[in-house]
Structure 1
Amino acid sequence: MNMTYQFLKSYTFKSGVTVKNRVAIPPMTEGMSLENGEVSTDELNYFNIHTGGAGMFITPVANVNALGKGFEGELSVADDKFIPGLAKMAATIKQNGTKAILQIFSAGRMTNSRILRGHQPVSASAVPALRPHAETPRALSEDEIEQTIADFGAATKRAILAGFDGVELHGANTYLLQQFFSPHSNRRNDQWGGSLENRMRFPMRVIEAAQQAIADTATSPFILGYRLSPEEIEEPGIRIEDTLKFVTKLNDMNLDYLHISMGNVWRPSLNNHDDKEPLITKIQRVSPDTPLISVGNVNTPADAEKVMEAGITFVAIGRESIREPHWVQKVEAGTEQSIRYNLSLADLEELGIKTPFFEFLKKMNDAGADQKFDVNDAQTKTVDTDRIDVAFRK
């Protein structure tokens, strides 16, 4: 085993959970759940192929209630009836010591009435997303906000009962948690909107609900993480200064980690082009007590080690983990030369990539994603799967 790489070293979270290495598989939409949100055998096969190497495997996102569904083939944790299937998923992922983390969310306005079977999307305010064919959502009432917070807590409880090792709250990629934080999607003038402090209130309450569920239900240490996108390009929208104040608050919330969602680990500001400092470095300075997971365009062991050398606690490997499910195992065995960096269409069956997932990847290619994923056939296809749900929504 090559233990010279820092990313192969174990880590113990505040919660007391120890992970065997600093590599995480980030949540990547594969669209292979059943229509009602239950786990499918195709998903279990995919997870069985791709798990066992990384310290943490974070699942594709699961909605916490019916109005939270964002796309077809999406996982759900909105009802107790889903627990048996989720238990199979957790058990499948937990091979060779890999920790299974369930990502949970509500899509908010990033859905449509067709996906919601005739219901209007909901959000912080009645402001549509700036994307083609976006529907205008209705603003959640005070009672609905409180119920949604409770739904996140109930989803966390179900994850514990299903045998997961942790939950990641999806506050990134323009979904509901981010919609409350964003001045673009949140135009409220009550306690849930207006000032930066008020716009933080909903995500902070969701974190507290998840923490309470863990305290009430978990009989052993349980991981709680939060994923965020550091900027928006909308006007008004989230700027890095807002995020740094939010992260400062989150640093006091006793979270196990923050997962920074970007298409490139070292990306600088999308809005201030004169500032070349990577956003992850800015966030790192204001989060001294909370580990960070950094993701985006990490392919080789050298790429991953560069993240470690910058003092970032975890590195997430997304696109590369699709084409090389044994990336960590090959590094451990000292056979890095055998790592696969290209994907042939002939490999899809071997890798458990079924039609919904493959069509999703093709759709990302058609959308012109800016981070490239090589699929070698007569014509090369490129997609960005670390930011797959961002691209799909835009």
Structure 2
Amino acid sequence: MNKKFQPLFEKITLPNKVVLENRFVLAPLTHVTSNDDGSTSNDEVVYMEQRSKDVGLAISAASNVTDLGKAFPGQPSVAHDSNIEGLKRLAQAMKKNGAKAVVQIHHGGAQSLPNLTPDGDVAAPTPISLKSFGEQEEHHAREITEDEIKQTIKAFGEATRRVIEAGFDGVEIHGANHYLIHQFVSPYYNRREDEWGQDRLKFALSVVDEVTETVKQHGNKDFIVGYRFSPEEAETPGISMEITESLVKQLIDKPLDYLHVSLMDIHSETREGKYKGQERIKLLLEWIDGRMPLVGIGSIFTADQAIEAIESTNVELVALGREILLDHNFISKIKDGKEDEIISHFDPNRKDRHHLPPKLWEQFNQGFYPLPRTDNK
């Protein structure tokens, strides 16, 4: 290995004393490959084993905690005890080569798809119409009731119990990317006048408390709990860095093991407000103040970009998303001194090149995700 890449392979110790073998994280990637009922498919197991084999921490695709929260075709489910057997297979595959395996627990909220939910029902903090994953026309989301809010918080806890029973090493609470927890934090999505709107952080923090209490009851001291968030949103009025500062400063007082920021570019800057123009990652690290590791992500397609991300920002962990889909040997090639052989462009003429499940291959081929491509589409 080229010695300049050695820092990528340093071990990281989480607050609960669990040690990650290196600083690479498999990002939670929508693979549209679970069975229609949310159970684990054979293609999913193969795909997740390949992508987990070299990372220190592997995070599964967003997995819905209730049937009302289903936001993707082929989305994995952690909503029922009947999911546990398939989850056991997935846990074994993801952990096979030493990665710590984590399930991202998720509820789509307004982004849930009516064609995938019971009776086409979709609920959000306040009523809204919008287009979601792959939709050509808007759908309507009604206001979620207070009873449903409480049931949903409990559902995150029950999902955590199932993940523990399936043998995973942890859960990541999905509070990012315009899904339900994010929606409650956002003044754009959450215009409620009750306690859940007057304190927009209440739902997110209640989910964290429910999950960590479940771990205390059913898990062990080694079970990992992370939280993912989006630091800003383009909507007006939306989540600002000032709101995120309040959220982060409350999250670091919780028994969490890492925070995970959702970004398209690891060097992205704050859009507006008193922190305008400052790099988001640097602000976040300042607020976290060393209390727990931060996972950074954003447009890393080469070995040089990976080491630069860590050295220029001081972020403890770096997540690989689209790149590890293009080349599941990305990390081993760096380790073996073959970084020049890394595949960093999608080749639509080579189905054998990227080892993607068929449905995910089709999404890549259709340009569903922004990617470097050999045909420059």
| Distance 1:50-1:338 versus aligned 2 partners, 3 A rule | same
State the partner residue of 2:160: 156
User: Could you tell me which amino acid in structure 1 is paired with residue 314 of structure 2?
Assistant: G
Alignment partners' CA distance in 1, 2:124 and 2:156: 15
Alignment partners' CA distance in 1, 2:351 and 2:221: 38
CA-CA distance at 1:347 after TM superposition: 4.3
Alignment partners' CA distance in 1, 2:70 and 2:143: 16
Alignment partners' CA distance in 1, 2:347 and 2:131: 35
Contact 2:67 2:118 in 1 (8 A): no
Is it true that 1:143 corresponds to 2:147 in the alignment?
A: yes
State the partner residue of 2:253: 252
Report SS of the residue matched to 1:226: strand
Alignment partners' CA distance in 1, 2:275 and 2:247: 23
State the partner residue of 2:307: 305
State the partner residue of 1:293: 295
* Further displaced range: 150-159 or 245-254: 245-254
| Distance 1:125-1:287 versus aligned 2 partners, 3 A rule | same
Report SS of the residue matched to 2:331: helix
Is it true that 1:98 corresponds to 2:102 in the alignment?
A: no
State the partner residue of 1:65: 66
Is it true that 1:179 corresponds to 2:180 in the alignment?
A: no
State the partner residue of 1:322: 325
CA-CA distance at 1:220 after TM superposition: 5.0
State the partner residue of 1:392: none
State the partner residue of 2:202: 201
Give me the identity figure in percent.
Answer: 33
* Further displaced range: 139-148 or 333-342: 333-342
| Distance 1:228-1:74 versus aligned 2 partners, 3 A rule | same
Is it true that 1:335 corresponds to 2:338 in the alignment?
A: yes
CA-CA distance at 1:125 after TM superposition: 1.2
Alignment partners' CA distance in 1, 2:274 and 2:202: 30
Contact 1:46 1:351 in 2 (8 A): no
1:236-274 Cα deviation digits (max 9, x unpaired): 111111111111111111211111101110111244699
User: Could you tell me which amino acid in structure 1 is paired with residue 100 of structure 2?
Assistant: K
CA-CA distance at 1:127 after TM superposition: 2.5
Alignment TM-score, normalising by the size of structure 1? 0.89
Alignment partners' CA distance in 2, 1:274 and 1:290: 22
State the partner residue of 1:345: 348
Contact 2:172 2:228 in 1 (8 A): yes
State the partner residue of 1:356: 359
Contact 2:348 2:365 in 1 (8 A): no
1:332-385 Cα deviation digits (max 9, x unpaired): 22222222222323543464323311232245x26xx6xx41333xx444xxxx
| Distance 1:141-1:48 versus aligned 2 partners, 3 A rule | same
| Distance 1:187-1:273 versus aligned 2 partners, 3 A rule | closer
Report SS of the residue matched to 1:202: helix
Q: Which runs of 5+ in 1 are unaligned?
A: 382-394
User: Could you tell me which amino acid in structure 2 is paired with residue 338 of structure 1?
Assistant: E
Alignment TM-score, normalising by the size of structure 2? 0.93
Contact 1:3 1:9 in 2 (8 A): no
Out of 155, 169, 172, the residue aligned to residue 168 of structure 1 is 172
Alignment partners' CA distance in 2, 1:267 and 1:273: 16
Query: How well do the aligned residues superpose, as a CA RMSD in angstroms?
Result: 2.0
CA-CA distance at 1:80 after TM superposition: 0.6
Report SS of the residue matched to 1:252: coil
User: Could you tell me which amino acid in structure 2 is paired with residue 79 of structure 1?
Assistant: H
CA-CA distance at 1:275 after TM superposition: 3.1
Report SS of the residue matched to 1:109: helix
Alignment partners' CA distance in 2, 1:219 and 1:228: 25
Report SS of the residue matched to 1:193: helix
Report SS of the residue matched to 1:137: strand
Contact 2:91 2:101 in 1 (8 A): yes
